Amino acid sequence: MNEDGRAVTSRSSGVPWALLFARLVLGLIFFMAGVFKVFQLGPLEHARRFFVEPYAESFLPVWSLWATGVTVPIVELVAGGLVLIGWRTRAALLALGAVLVLVTFGHLLAEPLYPFHEHVIPRLALVLFLLVLPSQDDRWSADGWWARRSAGR
């Protein structure tokens, strides 16, 4: 422990590598989904196909289905890219966690016994893993580089 009471990670620890691999995999999953949904499918088509049509008969207002369906691909693209490079990682992870909560709600609304182990749980595990490990140990991130640069001044 250091003087702040935080755990000190040895340079030979696997924590920096674990953070790097988890961040890269999670970032790629969301970034590539965002690329597809924004640039190939299109946010409006994504909203129509995956939000408006399946949930039009639910209690959810149609305007909220359009708004959410258009927003999710952009959040996945931007937040996934930020996690990938490790910049503003915590905010990006919180945004992706919110997307996972939203996806969970939607799937449960449509199918109460949805198999979450195939889609949601692996992504959620990576989000939680990255949120609980000390971000200052992520040596190969833009956030880490910026913190080291600022500390050197």
Contact 45, 31 (CB under 8 A): no
Contact 11, 126 (CB under 8 A): no
Taking all residues of the chain, what is their mean pLDDT, rounded to a whole number? 92
User: What type of residue sits at position 10?
Assistant: S
Distance of CA 72 to the CA centre of its chain: 11
Pair of tokens at residue 39: 């640039």
- Per residue in 90-137, pLDDT (tens digit) is 999 999 999 999 999 999 999 999 888 888 999 999 999 999 998 889
The mean pLDDT of 62-68, rounded to a whole number, is: 97
**More confident of the two residues 30 and 112:** 30
Global pTM value: 0.88
Residue with tokens 């490790």: 86
The pLDDT value given to residue 153: 64
